[in-house]
Amino acid sequence: MSQRIKFYQTGTLTVGNRLLDAKDRTVQATLDRGNSLTSGHRACQGCGEALGARYVVDAAMRWADNRVVAVNATGCLEVFSTPYPESSWQVPWIHSLFGNAPAVATGVRAALRAKGRTDVKVLAQGGDGGTVDIGFGCLSGMFERNDDVLYVCYDNEAYMNTGVQRSSRTPPAARTATTPPVGNSSGNVFGQGKNAALIAMAHNIPYVATASVADLHDLEEKVTKAMGIDGARYIHVHVPCPLGWGSPPHDTIRLARLAVETGLFALFEAEDGEVSDVTHIRRRLPVEEYLKPQRRFAHLFRPQTDADAIGQIQSIADRNIEKFGLIGRNG
Amino acid sequence: MLKQIEGSFAVAEAIALCRPEVICAYPITPQTHIVERLSELVRTGDVGNCQYINVESEFAALSVAIGASAAGARAYTATSSQGLLFMAEAVYNASGLGLPIVMTIGNRAIGAPINIWNDHSDSMALRDAGWIQLYAETNQDAVDLHIQAFRLAEQLSVPVMVCEDGFILTHACEQVDMPDSEQVDSYLPPFEPVQVLDPAEPITMGAMVGPEAFTEVRYLAHHKHLRAIEVIPELSTEFEHIFGRNTGGLIEPYRSEDAETVIVALGSVVGTIKDVVDEMRDEGVSLGAVKVVSFRPFPLLALREALQNAKRVIVVEKCLADGLGGIVVGSVRMSLRGTSTPVYTIIAGLGGRAITKKSLRRAFNEAVADRLEDPHFLDLDWKVIDHELARSQEKRRSGPIAENILRELGLVGGKPV
């Protein structure tokens, strides 16, 4: 594995490609990037999913020399990119249903194999609802068969397309349209959580990774690595949603970074079911730093601080840090 | 070549001759033998270059077929009953996307109460999902209709269901004239899709369409079915030239031209009805039958012509619209609009109940005398119905109806309470 390039800037959130050699710059920074998800689409300002998808699909296209077929689950990404009669996709792209993107991708793969087109790679993508909830059966089937598909989940932690309802990826205490903090309730329940990457790993598929739009170099690197592997691969990308999270559009990257720095979203890779690499936290932060800027957690701080809920969220972060060893020697 | 063969195996071998490139399989009785046999045929190389995918649900089975078809492969799957309902969302999606997938339905009842035996509730539930629906009377029909189905589907870019009665056909061993590969190859050219996911020419499939164009998109689907009304007989004629059998078409009249009373039905029961027609004709009753092969699109004009001399029409159907009566009869009445021909409905064979010649004769005779109630439930056990209705009125917590009836019939448990 090539050495990970780290940016130790402080006082600014800009991570500049200009600091790198040309060959180490992102695909997005190159003039000949694919623009697979091209401009003019209807995503909200500051949309983490649009940003993530642009990096993911272009990196995949770069690896495959533009020979990619994309399958999309129903959701924001599908709706904002293909309002009739327009399409933002400059890649062969199909949307079928909410819960069947992994299976449709399997079908595309099978067809290409029957036709001897092993040079064409298949990329499937969806939001957390389409992936971790309604599409989970198909996803697990695709993993179990080890179908040659890269599946990318853009996790913005709720059903944003339908107006911010709770998904199984919605964090505890978060306000959504179906988990309103009313009376003594503090938003979403403190359930058991659903770590799709760990469940993907339990299928022993060759490659699983989590990524974040906070580190787009890392995201591209993981996509590129996944593209070079045969079989079922899964990348779970954390993508803040200004609309659903109640945060300013310019804070998307900052919040994604805070999710990582607090330990709430662990960045790791796994090969053949075993964790193979972890991105260490450089400067550990308390979860309040992440929660406070988001309106979906405002009720934890006003009218009075809900120390109990915040404490429980902190213990989730602490457990992640311990479980994945997020505080490392070179962290 | 004549072959003594189980219906499911005959269909599987016919599918193999059609050279599908992707087959998706998920087991459900009674279609299971078809995909079992195909798994063998794929592994022995008899299907050519074909990917056989074992999936985790029927929803995935059709979804895999959708992806495969969109990527330009000839795709096939089979299901029954609950499986068809479980994939319902994908059934509409496949037709909406205009993907020429062929799917066998081994017709079976829908639960609850769970029942694995034959009726038409499953395919009828999805009759208006945009798929063409062809119904087989015999296993020869089933074999031939599948070959025509691929041709029809790919010519019009519309998915086709071939419906064959579960067990009655799928599990029946009878003589079938199996086509050879030269015949099938000359009838069915390789699949040339009108749209395909190809990196050399990127297209977007499945875009969102709002009110400004949705009606036009839907009309074009309607138009395809109207085209199918013309194409289905043409394909049947061409089929006859190559295979020597006039299988298919929209409808198949049987001694109906001069008949005063004409029975309309679809599926395997048509065979029994033909026997009854022959017997009652011998006794001097002016009876005939019309088999509906293509239920969707429904051949309104062809059926109207076939029924123009009839004094009355009897529809025998294996499905039920609760509180209304038949389902097929609605379309039959539509084909007769503007006429005063009385139409009777016989609901028969639900959940696999045998449809006997004796019972049909009794019901037909009542209809001929214009005494048949509409709808008529063939061989309904009124004793059981009356008992259960009375019992359920006695107390609020009367319990599950299905179990009570089985107890009443003495099939399970103790005596009724």
CATH for B251-377, among 3.40.50.300, 2.40.390.10, 3.40.50.920, 2.130.10.30? 3.40.50.920
Give me the mean pLDDT over the B146-150 stretch: 98
Length of chain B: 417
On the question of pLDDT at B343 being above 50, the answer is: yes
How confident is the model over B253-277, as a mean pLDDT?
98
C-alpha B157, offset from chain centre: 20
Angle at A237 between CA A234 and CA A242, to 5 degrees: 155
Sheet holding A121-127, edge to edge: A274-278, A268-271, A207-212, A233-238, A150-155, A121-127, A68-72, A93-95, B204-205
Residue A238 has pLDDT above 60, yes or no: yes
Please determine, for residue A14, whether its predicted confidence score (pLDDT) is greater than 60. no
Q: Which two tokens stand for residue A113?
A: 């194999």
Out of B59, B72, B206, closest to residue A115 by CB: B72
Please tell me the distance from the alpha carbon of residue B26 to that of residue B57, in angstroms, as a whole number.
Answer: 6
CA–CA gap between residue B369 and residue B272 (Å, rounded): 21
Q: Note which residues in 83-102 of chain A have CB less than 8 A from chain B.
A: 83-85, 87, 89-97, 99-100
What is the β-pairing status of strands B173-177 and B2-6? Answer: antiparallel
Q: Which residues contact B120 (CB under 8 A, 6 or more apart)?
A: B107, B163, B266, B267, B317, B318, B319, B327
Decide which of 3.40.50.10490, 3.20.20.80, 3.40.50.2300, 3.40.50.970 is the CATH code for B2-243. Answer: 3.40.50.970
- How many percent of chain B have pLDDT more than 90? 94
Region B205-225: what's the mean pLDDT? 96
Question: Euclidean distance between the first and final Cα of chain A, in Å?
Answer: 18
Q: What is the pLDDT of residue A301?
A: 96
Using a CB-CB cut-off of 8 Å, the residues of chain B touching A113 are 51
Q: Which residue, A202, A213, A127, A137, is CA-closest to A223?
A: A213
Backbone φ, ψ for residue B132 (5° rounding): -75, 140
Q: In this predicted structure, what is the pLDDT of residue A1? A: 44
Q: Which residue has the tokens 């179908």?
A: A147
SS (H, E, C) A54-80: HHHHHHHHHHCCCCEEEEECCCHHHHH
Sheet strands side by side (includes B376-377): B251-254, B287-292, B261-265, B312-317, B343-347, B376-377
Give the C-alpha separation, B321 to A37, whole Å: 48
Average pLDDT rounded to a whole number, residues B177-203: 97
Predicted confidence at residue A185, as pLDDT, reads 84
Q: Are B14 and B68 contacting, i.e. CB atoms less than 8 angstroms apart? A: no
Summarize pLDDT for A162-198 with one digit per residue, the tens. Answer: 999 999 999 999 999 999 999 888 899 999 999 999 9
- Mean per-residue pLDDT, A238-245: 98
Instruction: Kindly report the average pLDDT of chain A as a whole number.
Output: 93
Q: What is the pLDDT, as a whole number, of residue A329?
A: 59
List the alpha helices (DSSP H) in chain A: 48-63, 76-81, 101-114, 128, 136-144, 196-202, 216-227, 242-245, 252-261, 287-291, 307-324
Q: Is A108–B89 a contact, with Cβ atoms under 8 angstroms apart?
A: no
pLDDT tens per residue, range B371-417 = 999 999 999 999 999 999 999 999 899 888 888 888 888 877 655 44
Q: Which of B332, B311, B306, B336 is nearest to B260 (CA)?
A: B311
A32-59: average pLDDT = 95
Stretch B211-215: mean pLDDT: 95
The neighbour count for residue B391, using CB atoms within 10 Å, is 16
Residue B351 φ/ψ region, left for φ over 0, alpha for ψ in the -120 to 50 degree band, beta for the rest: left
Contact criterion met (CB below 8 Å) for B178 and B37: no
| B6-53 residue pLDDT tens | 999 999 999 999 999 999 999 999 999 999 999 999 999 999 999 999
What confidence tier does A27 reach under pLDDT thresholds 50, 70, 90?
confident
Confidence of residue A313 (pLDDT cuts 50, 70, 90): very high
Least reliable range by pLDDT among A3-12, A115-124, A134-143, A221-230: A3-12
What confidence tier does A30 reach under pLDDT thresholds 50, 70, 90?
A: confident
CB distance from A104 to chain B under 8 Å?
yes
C-alpha A265/C-alpha B64 separation (Å) is 32
Interface of B with A in 347-406 (CB under 8 A): none
Tell me the shortest Cα–Cα distance from B382 to chain A, in angstroms. Answer: 44
d(CA A212, CA A29): 18
**CA separation, residue A171 to residues A51, A167, A195, A297, B286 (Å):** 22, 9, 11, 10, 74
CB contact under 8 A, B197 and A69: yes
Give residue B201's pLDDT. 96
Q: Would the CA dihedral through B124, B130, B136, B137 be positive or negative? A: positive
Token match 């499937």: residue? A124
Does A286 score more than 70 pLDDT?
Answer: yes
Chain-centroid distance, C-alpha A241:
11
Domains within chain A, CATH numbers bracketed: 33-324 (3.40.50.970)
Closest residue of chain B to A111, computed from CA coordinates: B68
A222: Cβ–Cβ under 8 A, 6 or more apart, which residues? A209, A211, A235, A269
What ipTM was estimated for this complex?
A: 0.96
- Give the phi and the psi of residue A267 in degrees, each rounded to 5: -100, 120
First to last CA, chain B: 58
How far A65 CA lies from chain B's nearest CA (Å)?
10
Judge whether A213 and A237 are in contact, CB under 8 Å.
Answer: yes
Q: Which of B239, B284, B291 is nearest to B264 (CA)?
A: B291
Query: Is A145 within 8 Å of B93 when comparing Cβ atoms?
Result: no
User: Chain A: residue nearest B200 by CA?
Assistant: A67
Sign of CA dihedral A86, A90, A93, A98: negative
**pLDDT at residue A282, rounded to an integer:** 85
**pLDDT for residue B28:** 98
* Same fold flag, B2-243 and B251-377: yes
Buried b (16+ CB within 10 A) or exposed e, A150-183: bbbbbbbbbbbbeebbbbebbbbbbbbeebebee
What residue spans define the domains of chain B? 2-243, 251-377, 383-417
